[in-house]
Amino acid sequence: MMDRKEKKLTIRYALTMMAIIGFFTGIFYLVSKQVTSKDLLVFDQHIISFVQSFISVDITRWVLRLTDLASVAFLIYAVLFVSVLLLWKKKYALMVFMITANGLGALLNKTLKWYFKRERPDILPVILEKGYSFPSGHSMGSLLFYGSLAYLLVHILQGTWAKILSFLGLILLILLIGTSRIYLGVHYPTDVVGGYSIGIAFLVLCILAFRYYEERNNK
């Protein structure tokens, strides 16, 4: 049985996580309500023009490599690879967490794209992409995979600096992948914001469910 202090900390943690879920779900809702707004489209176009002002052959070469780190094929293999490692290490609950967060997250993204049916920008597409635009699949997918990977590393690594550096490095990678989608002209900035916001909300929900499972099994 947990003592009163431990129980209070658990409740505080749960409430904090629920507040984060509510906050980022609210951001997604506000952005989604404005995706057809002309004012928001003008804002998107200004950001796209600024980011694409840096276009060059050399930068594009690196951006294409970067954006591939959140492609569907890459993420499927990456999730499977990490899951096999967790299975090998007998981290069964973390393996289920990794598969669930990314698998159900991908399904959620597809459902939202189908619901909103926002067409992709046609200002200056560097590459061509099929499918709907909102929310960005690469942005949401990178946040779910690299975010869940960051959580795993923080959960597994021992050194404080190792945890901090791995977390910050993966956050930077997520932000760069989102920016790459704007640079390549295949997403509006609000697509990226939408992907990040709903991705954070869903990932935190998965973390909360995982922590609840841990608490139940450690009693």
- 37-74 pLDDT per residue, tens: 888 888 888 899 899 988 999 999 999 999 999 999 99
Better-scored residue on pLDDT, 170 or 11? 170
Better-scored residue on pLDDT, 11 or 44? 44
Q: Token pair of 152, please?
A: 């795993």
Amino acid 99: pLDDT: 95
pLDDT above 90: percentage of residues in the chain: 65
- 134-161 pLDDT per residue, tens: 999 999 999 999 999 999 998 788 888 8
| Cβ–Cβ < 8 Å for 118, 156 | no
User: Does the pLDDT at position 3 exceed 80?
Assistant: no
Domain total of the chain: 1
Q: Token pair of 11, please?
A: 């409740």
H-assigned helices in the chain: 4-32, 38-52, 57-67, 72-88, 92-116, 137-156, 160-183, 189-217
Which residues are the active-site residues? Answer: 138, 187
Amino acid 218: pLDDT: 66
H-assigned helices in 117-184: 137-156, 160-183
Amino acid 162: pLDDT: 86
Structure letter (DSSP) for residue 113: H
Amino acid 9: pLDDT: 56
| Cβ–Cβ < 8 Å for 66, 177 | yes
Integer Cα distance of 79 and 84 in angstroms = 9
Confidence of residue 19 (pLDDT cuts 50, 70, 90): very high
Amino acid 184: pLDDT: 93
Confidence of residue 82 (pLDDT cuts 50, 70, 90): very high
- Taking residue 151's Cβ as centre, other Cβ atoms within 10 Å add up to 21
Amino acid 77: pLDDT: 96
Instruction: Give ∠ CA 178-171-33 in degrees, rounded to 5.
Output: 45
Integer Cα distance of 203 and 209 in angstroms = 10
Amino acid 1: pLDDT: 45
Residue with tokens 């959620």: 108
User: Does the pLDDT at position 5 exceed 60?
Assistant: no
Residue with tokens 């790459």: 180
Confidence of residue 98 (pLDDT cuts 50, 70, 90): very high
| Cβ–Cβ < 8 Å for 204, 21 | yes
**Dihedral, CA of residue 36, residue 37, residue 41 and residue 47, to nearest 10:** -110
User: Does the pLDDT at position 14 exceed 60?
Assistant: yes
> What domain range is 129 assigned to?
4-217
DSSP 3-state of 16: helix
Cα dihedral sign for 123, 125, 128, 129? negative
